[in-house]
Amino acid sequence: MIPCEKAAIICSKAQYSEASFLDKLRLRLHIMYCKTCHAYTKKNKRLTSLCQKAPLHSLSEQDKVEIKRRLTDIH
Amino acid sequence: MPIEKSMTVNGLRPDTWVDQYADYLFNYAYARVSEEEIAKDLVQETFFAGLKSAKNYKGTASERTWLIAILKRKVIDHYRKVNSSKGKAEVRMQYNPNSDSAGDWLEEQVADPYAELESTAMENEELGLAIQECIAKLPKKQSRVFTMKTIQGISTEDICKELEINPSNLWVMIHRARTALMGCLNENWFET
């Protein structure tokens, strides 16, 4: 069986649909026996749906660098 | 007075503002003006105004609350400008967007079918701000990776290239960020 740390990382990968078939199988087997990771997976899925539900926007890194530069320039 | 590293003005830390609050303020502004460019300008103006009036900061409100108060004014000013450029402020009350008739009385709408939709939108905005607040608490690199992946939807490959990390680094950071967010977000959000 894979260790919890690895299971948790696969679980996070799965939130972005980037876990391989084999990894997902390993994760499934793991959470059948591990209550902690079972709960973690549930919460992680919930976090994904929260992030999708919320209207999240962010400035690009370039924008931030630009604002920082302007802030530094002003007196 | 240029900003230097760890400069403190009256208990404020302007050199940390962009990393700490830019996305939070941007979400707040975006929800109100619905235009990316305008929202970005308002955030920038907020920082400028904050820097200018830093000496008036009394420290009774948190730095973020204080910046939000400035941003609120900026949003109001923005709408004033928009309205005055139209010639005069235009207030149109359309209490039934599905009806062209202007003369129906409010009594016809005792149960407002839009009230629920509106409260969901408000709840979602509140959730968005709560998430941004938690992201701001992450270590800089984690917050950047998480934001690029989750909010900006950039591919794993492109993020790795830009930040010069390998995919397993990326996933470890994403995993840590997600774990921290689960701990930071109020339990209420996790009740289904």
Predicted TM-score (pTM) of this structure: 0.79
pLDDT at B188: 80
Contacts of B186 (CB under 8 A, 6+ apart): B130
**B31-81 tens-digit pLDDT:** 899 889 999 999 999 999 998 888 888 888 889 999 999 999 999 999 988
Higher pLDDT: B7 or B164? It is B164
Give the closest-approach CA distance of B33 to chain A in angstroms: 13
Instruction: Tell me the mean pLDDT in the region A50-71.
Output: 91
pLDDT of A42 > 50? The answer is yes
pLDDT of B94 > 80? The answer is no
pLDDT at A29: 95
B186 pLDDT band (50/70/90 cuts)? confident
Give the closest-approach CA distance of A14 to chain B in angstroms: 11
Closest residue in chain B to residue A37, using alpha carbons only: B179
Closest residue in chain A to residue B50, using alpha carbons only: A71
pLDDT of B25 > 90? The answer is yes
3-state helix, strand, coil in chain B (%, to 5): 70, 0, 30
Give the closest-approach CA distance of B60 to chain A in angstroms: 24
Instruction: Tell me the mean pLDDT in the region B14-37.
Output: 91
pLDDT of B1 > 50? The answer is no
Please give the share of chain B, as a percent, with pLDDT higher than 70.
81
Instruction: Tell me the mean pLDDT in the region B140-165.
Output: 94
Label each residue of A11-67 as H, E or C: HHHHCCCCCCHHHHHHHHHHHHHCHHHHHHHHHHHHHHHHHHHCCCCCCCHHHHHHH
Q: Is B27 on the interface with A (CB under 8 A)?
A: yes
Q: With CA atoms as reference, report the closest residue to B27 among A56, A53, A17, A5.
A: A56
pLDDT at B103: 52
Instruction: Tell me the mean pLDDT in the region B142-163.
Output: 94
- Provide the strand spans (E) within B67-180: none
Higher pLDDT: B121 or B2? It is B121
pLDDT at B85: 73
Higher pLDDT: B109 or B24? It is B24
Q: Is B36 on the interface with A (CB under 8 A)?
A: yes
pLDDT of B95 > 70? The answer is no
* Inter-chain residue contact A70 with B172, CB threshold 8 Å: no
pLDDT at B34: 81
